[in-house]
Structure 1
Amino acid sequence: MSTPGGQWRNRETFVREGDGIVDLLTCKWAREHEYRLTKEVWAFRENRIAVHFAYEWHDEKGRWFRSCGNENWESDENGLMRRRVASINDLPIDIGASLFHWPQGRLPDDHHPGLSVLGL
C-alpha cells in the first residue's frame, strides 16, 4: 500500500498518488500474463530497502520475456510505501529458456534457486 502523495517510477512511467499507482499496476498486470517473480534483498537501512529482482511473463501474443532489475523502496513512519523506483530491462526469451518453473502463484519457500544461484 502506498502513502498519500506516494511516488512510483516503473520503467519510463512516473506516477504520483493512489489512482496513478493503481492505473500503472492495472496496465502492467493486463499486459504481463503468467507472471512469476523472485527477489533478493541487497541492502536495507532505516526506512529504505534495495532489492534485485527477476520475473518471467508472456504478452497477449504468447511472446515470453524475462524482466530483470533493481527496486528501491522508501516507507513512511507507518511502514507504508512512500516511494518506489524500479529500473527494469526486458529480455525476449523462448519458453524453453525459462528459469522459473514453479506453479502459478507465490514462489515456494524451498523449491527454487535464488537469483544469485541462477546467475541473474
Structure 2
Amino acid sequence: MTDPRSHPACEQEARERVRAAEDAWNLHDVDAVVMAHRIDCQWRAGSEFLWGREQIRGFLDRKWKREIDFRVIQQLWAFTRDRLAVRLAWEFRTDGGAWFRGYGDESWEYDAAGLVSRRFSSCSEHLIAEHERLLRWPVGARGFGGASLEELGL
C-alpha cells in the first residue's frame, strides 16, 4: 500500500488510497480516518462544516453511533497529483430498525505532505426495505473480490 503521506503518483496508488479510506470507514477506525487529514483540515459533509481533526472525530463518533451496521463502498472516479474524486454508496440501519442507503461524491485535496487538506461531500440518503439491501458482507472491511458500484447498479 502507498505511504499515506505521499501523493498518489499513479492510478493504482490512487485506488489503494481510496480502498484504505473505505476500510477505515468500514472498520470504524476513527484514528485512521482522522490521521489521514491535516490537523486544520476543512471538511464539508452534507450540511455539516467541520474544521480540524477534533471536529472530524466528533462527527464520526456521532455518525457511527447513529448508523448501525454501517457499510460503504468507495470507488475512485478521477485523480490528479493532489486531488481525488470518489463515488460512494453506503447502507446502515437505525436503532429503530429502519434501513437507509446513501449515495455521494467526494472531492479530496492533499497538501504537500500527502494529508487531506480539504474534503467535500455531496450526498443523500433514503429509506430502503431490508430486502433491498445490497451491501451484505459481515460488518468490517469489505474484502477483495466484492461487487463494484456498477455491478450493484449503484
Q: What band does the TM-score fall into relative to the shorter chain?
A: over 0.9
Whether 2:79 is the aligned partner of 1:32: answer no
| Cross-structure match for 1:116 | 150
Q: Which runs of structure 1 show a deviation greater than 3 angstroms over 4 or more consecutive aligned residues?
A: none
Q: CA RMSD in A?
A: 0.9
AA of the residue aligned to 2:90:
Y
Q: How many residues get paired? A: 119
User: Could you say which residue in structure 2 is the equivalent of 1:59?
Assistant: 94
2:105 to 53, 70, 84: 70
TM norm structure 2:
0.74
Distance in 2 separating the partners of 1:102 and 1:17: 32
Q: CA deviation at 1:70?
A: 0.4
TM superposition shift of 1:80 = 1.1
Residues 36-95 of structure 1 show CA distances to partners (whole Å, capped at 9, x for unaligned) of 111110100011000100011011111100011101111111111111111111010011
Matched, 1:104 2:139: yes
Aligned to 1:80: 115
Find the aligned partners of 2:133 and 2:106 in 1 and give their Cα distance: 22
Report the alpha carbon displacement of residue 4 of structure 1 after superposing the two structures with TM: 2.4
- Counterpart selection for 1:10 from 26, 29, 45: 45
Name the SS of the counterpart of 1:28 in structure 2: helix
Q: State the AA in 1 paired with 2:97.
A: G
Structure 2 residues not aligned, in runs of 5+:
1-34
State the TM-score, normalizing by the size of structure 1. 0.94
Q: Secondary structure in 1 aligned to 2:151?
A: helix
Corresponding letter in the other structure for 1:53: L
CA distance in 1, matches of 2:135, 2:57: 27
Shift of 1:107: 0.8
Paired-residue identity, %: 36
CA separation in 2, counterparts of 1:72 and 1:26? Answer: 22
Separation (CA, whole Å) in 1 of partners of 2:122 and 2:149: 17
The runs of 5 or more residues in structure 1 that have no matched partner are none
**Cα distance per residue 1:84-120 (max 9 Å; x no partner):** 111111010011000111111101201x210011221
SS in 2 for 1:62: coil
